[in-house]
Structure 1
Amino acid sequence: MNRLLLILLLLNASLHASQPNVLFIIVDDLTTTLSCYGNTHVHTPAMDALAARGVRFDHAYTQFALCNPSRCSFLTGCYPEKTGVMDLTTSLRKALPNVVTLPQHFKDHGYVTGRVGKVFHVADPKTKLDVELGPALHKDSEILVEAKAENDPDDKPRAKAKGEGYNRTFAASARPAADFTDYQIADDAIATLDAFKAKPFFLAVGFIRPHTPYVAPKAFFDSIDKTQLTLPQFYRADGEVLTHLPKSSLRPNNNVFRYVDPTQDEARDALQAYLAATSFVDSQIGRVLARLDELKLTDNTVVVLTGDHGYQLGEHGLWAKQTLFEGANHVPLLIAAPGVKPGSRAGLAEQVDIYPTLCDLAGLPKPKHLQGRSLKPMLDDPAAKSRQTAISTMVAPHTKLTGHSVRTDAFRYIVWEQNGGELLYDLRNDPDELHNLAAQPAQAERMNRMRERLAAHLKAVSAP
């Protein structure tokens, strides 16, 4: 081998060695009900450990609290107004036929790439990765039917028109962990890590729970004392007044209680089940992170973990996504990266920021189409300035009206089109969003400022 060729090979090896790997973990319907975010009832040791060695963003927000629009947004780095995706079936290619998605960008820059489990909601034909393994979504639904029959033999399917039957989309199962969808996803992720270990890689892993059905091995239910769970104000004796809320805000509950509103006991059972499903998926995330460690890849791997959006767990009587309230739009965001000191950040972040952040952490150029802003300055410096607003969009599933939310460090402003209503909450004094201040004269200046901010944002990000 001549000297020049040897130098080139060594230089190439050196460049590859300096490139960090990326493990991007997306958890379906995961809100901030984690121990590391202060929930004392749930057991999430794997995510807690990731938060302890990385940076926890305390105020990160989705751009659309529904799977397909949210994923299209953070996988392209564009707001929903640009992607044109605001439902579960539209392809991002309709509005953005040539956009380069996040995993494709890494492949185009020499990374070996893969996606395991649920990453895109609607498959993208132009993202061609080295490994593409989808989840067997039917498995947990079949386990739900079996578990409900075991737990309550008298609860058999009955006519939906009577408001009966499978109202409760949750149950503890006698099945072992290995029978569940997320166990298979973890297996596939581990196998992919083994295959990728010698090269710089980008691997996106999408876990399914705690998306409905909330099913998990019984031990995860038993670990949560449901008698200690506190229900939201809506379920308390003094209740919650909903008369001020626009119709578009109070979407029908079809995610958990499909046919009949829950009693207090059923609501507490559902909360226990959601936390149990969260604990179970944490155990599978732990298996993947443990394998990363066993392969001695942890120190040179950027790990990002987030939910695709948040979730309403009884707030305002809602058990669903697709709202503009804090619960459905607030998401966990954990980032552990080489050279980044552990800590937490109170500043606002958006999921649309993930793409440019990963570009910066990997030393890749940022595509011109990106609309988010890199979080690397905040990762490097806890005192770095964050964005002033986090903005989310929603199309109400029942009224079909479009609404927007503007979240600042202290307030949330919500507006629905066609004079569908405005809301303003002071989150410092009213974190449960119970008291609408929109009509108060003292808030007139703030309301105008919120309207102006939203208008400027929509003008800047909307597709031409």
Structure 2
Amino acid sequence: MTVGALSGCSPDTLIGSPRRTEANPRNLLLIMVDDLNDWVTALGDHPQVTAPHIKALAASGTSFANAHAQAPICGPSRASLFSGLYPAQTGIYGQIKDAQLGPAVSAVSPTLLLPQYLRSHGYYTAGRGKVSHQGGQEGMFDEYHPRLPENGDYGPKPEGRFKWDSDKTHTDWGAWPDADEKMIDHITASWGAEFLQQEHEQPFLLALGFVRPHVPWYVPQKWLDMFPLDTIELPQIRANDLGDVPKAGRDLAAVPQMPTLEWAMENKEWRPIMQAYLASIAFVDHCVGMVLESLSTSAHAENTLICLASDNGYHLGEKQRFAKMSLWERSTRVPLMFAGPGIRQQVITDPVGLIDIYPTAIDILGLPANTENAGRSLAPVLTQGKALPIEPQLSVYGEGNYAVIDPNHRYIRYADGSEELYDLRKDPNEWVNLANDQSLASVKDRLRAYIPANPRSDVTIGR
């Protein structure tokens, strides 16, 4: 999937006659989960994950076990998903304020953001929680409820830190607060569940953004108790894993504000961190379950398309780090699943991207295609079981740094030209950099061709 030139259509061409039939779902429930890594995919990458509601949702429809974010950080990933454009097209490589999202996109394309596009076709659009990076820009939804000021960005916080004292990151972990009802995700889920119980004359988009398992990993004690420390299985690591990573790669992935694996091991905090992350997954799964249970008992159960996705992955010790913001597998690979009327029960292992959500959703809803979308509709896979041509996925972190992922390899090229190449069949942990193996030069050449030749300059610098 290459990043091509914009088609240059006018806004008028985005509005067409809906081709919805009785077989099409009427509504879209979009669930965004923040920093949920690939442990909950159908491949089951961590055996102790407790997420029965997300698991059941995946089993009821199509789960993409090899889905990737177009950027391994919240802002540009969500900007790409909602605009349907690659970061290289918009120049959004870093965090961006909601008020600047629309202008940044309109500077390069007449496209509408996904909620706006649906509204242009008669949808009522409602959202709550962290939907875009800061929630929902003005005019993005008919009805949007921001995170409550008393809860802060990521939920209620104690007066001080429990474990990690750095004002440059939200990172910390521990038991807080004392009740689920005080958690911002529980408030979001309750509101979403109530929305689904109401009658709606118009078709609707309901977008719910859950913040766990984003840091700080605070949840009530009962969720931590589900994962006794002495039973937790730690990820596999390799000593000197970064020894064959070029300096540009080490520098790009350096997150001095976050704990290092060395620190976590010396201070016996690796298992507590893992416990808090697993507990945060279990808690957010409970919140997702509240919404899905409400939908199942509502009048909308049989005519609502469900899409659940995460905006990026997260390292929990792999590559000696506790962070996202890298071009390795754990940062870019994310859960992505669709369920609802007409969606087949299957697991797809071909690579896809979050950029495919926009064209896929409007296709399944029976709306005309937005010709500005850079992704492709996965509807033939979801509804008919058809195989689509395999297209490598592109992820970018910072201007000029790209990862290209196909079913067998991950190729990374940094802005200075240095490279990494991993054989994902033999080396799923990405421990052995094969970039200097001359026998694989043709593989690098093939994947390198997917890197855009004329990317837009970074418009987020200084914002």
Residue 243 (structure 1) aligned with residue 233 (structure 2): no
Aligned to 1:9: none
Where do 1:397-416 residues align within 5 Å? Answer: 402-416=400-414
Aligned equivalents of 2:23, 2:381: Cα separation in 1: 25
Aligned to 1:120: 132
Residue 93 (structure 1) aligned with residue 106 (structure 2): no
Match of 2:26 among 9, 15, 20: 20
CA contact (8 A) 2:135 2:146 kept: no
SS of residue matched to 1:243: helix
What is the deviation of 1:37? Answer: 3.9
Aligned to 1:262: 264
Aligned to 1:47: 54
SS of residue matched to 2:139: coil
Aligned equivalents of 1:196, 1:112: Cα separation in 2: 12
Structure 2 counterpart of 1:257, which letter?
A: P
Residue 82 (structure 1) aligned with residue 89 (structure 2): yes
CA offsets per residue over residues 8-32 of structure 1, 9 Å max, x none? xxxx9x9799652100000011112
Where do 1:319-358 residues align within 5 Å? Answer: 319-358=322-361
CA contact (8 A) 1:84 1:94 kept: no
CA offsets per residue over residues 411-430 of structure 1, 9 Å max, x none? 000010123x2000001010
Q: 1:156 to 1:56 in 2, by over 3 A?
A: closer
TM-score, normalised via structure 1 length: 0.85
Extract unaligned runs of 5+ from structure 2.
1-17, 458-463
CA contact (8 A) 2:260 2:322 kept: no
Aligned equivalents of 2:455, 2:384: Cα separation in 1: 28
Q: 1:227 to 1:402 in 2, by over 3 A?
A: farther
Q: 1:276 to 1:184 in 2, by over 3 A?
A: same
CA contact (8 A) 2:175 2:224 kept: yes
TM-score, normalised via structure 2 length: 0.85
SS of residue matched to 1:277: helix
CA offsets per residue over residues 348-373 of structure 1, 9 Å max, x none? 11100000000111000112211000
Match of 2:421 among 420, 424, 429: 424
Aligned equivalents of 2:211, 2:142: Cα separation in 1: 22
CA contact (8 A) 1:312 1:319 kept: yes
SS of residue matched to 1:274: helix
Structure 2 counterpart of 1:253, which letter?
A: V
Aligned to 2:437: 440
Where do 1:159-198 residues align within 5 Å? Answer: 169-173=172-176, 175-195=178-198, 197-198=200-201
Match of 1:34 among 36, 40, 50: 40
SS of residue matched to 1:379: helix
Aligned equivalents of 2:120, 2:198: Cα separation in 1: 19
Structure 2 counterpart of 1:298, which letter?
A: A
What is the deviation of 1:225? Answer: 3.3
CA contact (8 A) 1:33 1:275 kept: no
CA contact (8 A) 1:254 1:320 kept: no
Aligned to 2:15: none
What is the deviation of 1:296? Answer: 3.4
Aligned equivalents of 1:402, 1:196: Cα separation in 2: 48
Aligned equivalents of 2:320, 2:120: Cα separation in 1: 46
Extract unaligned runs of 5+ from structure 1.
1-11, 150-154, 396-400
SS of residue matched to 1:33: helix
CA contact (8 A) 2:224 2:275 kept: yes
Aligned equivalents of 1:156, 1:47: Cα separation in 2: 30
Q: 1:19 to 1:241 in 2, by over 3 A?
A: closer
Aligned to 1:72: 79
CA offsets per residue over residues 178-229 of structure 1, 9 Å max, x none? 0111111112212322345443211111000100000111111111233333
Structure 1 counterpart of 2:208, which letter?
A: V
Where do 1:175-324 residues align within 5 Å? Answer: 175-195=178-198, 197-234=200-237, 239-250=239-250, 251-253=253-255, 256-257=258-259, 261-263=263-265, 265-324=268-327
Q: 1:180 to 1:167 in 2, by over 3 A?
A: closer
Aligned equivalents of 1:44, 1:259: Cα separation in 2: 26
Aligned equivalents of 2:323, 2:149: Cα separation in 1: 19
Residue 449 (structure 1) aligned with residue 458 (structure 2): no
What is the deviation of 1:255? Answer: 6.3
Tell which deviates more after alignment, 220-229 or 117-126: 117-126
Aligned equivalents of 1:142, 1:369: Cα separation in 2: 36
CA contact (8 A) 2:70 2:80 kept: yes
CA contact (8 A) 1:186 1:287 kept: yes
Structure 1 counterpart of 2:263, which letter?
A: D
SS of residue matched to 1:453: coil
Q: Which has the higher contact order (CA 8 A, sep 6+)?
A: 2
Structure 2 counterpart of 1:73, which letter?
A: S
CA contact (8 A) 2:219 2:280 kept: yes
Match of 1:106 among 118, 139, 154: 118
CA contact (8 A) 2:353 2:393 kept: yes
What is the deviation of 1:111? Answer: 1.2
Where do 1:3-18 residues align within 5 Å? Answer: none
Structure 2 counterpart of 1:21, which letter?
A: N
Q: 1:196 to 1:289 in 2, by over 3 A?
A: same
Aligned equivalents of 1:102, 1:69: Cα separation in 2: 15
What is the deviation of 1:461? Answer: 7.4
Aligned equivalents of 1:259, 1:424: Cα separation in 2: 24
CA offsets per residue over residues 152-196 of structure 1, 9 Å max, x none? xxx797xx69x9xx9960102361110111111112212322345
Q: 1:18 to 1:366 in 2, by over 3 A?
A: closer
Structure 2 counterpart of 1:92, which letter?
A: L
What is the deviation of 1:78? Answer: 0.6
CA contact (8 A) 1:352 1:371 kept: yes
What is the deviation of 1:112? Answer: 1.2
Q: CA RMSD in A?
A: 2.9
Q: 1:259 to 1:36 in 2, by over 3 A?
A: closer
Structure 1 counterpart of 2:240, which letter?
A: E
CA offsets per residue over residues 331-382 of structure 1, 9 Å max, x none? 0001003112211111111100000000111000112211000011111344
State, as a whole percentage, how many aligned pairs show the same letter.
Answer: 32
SS of residue matched to 1:261: helix
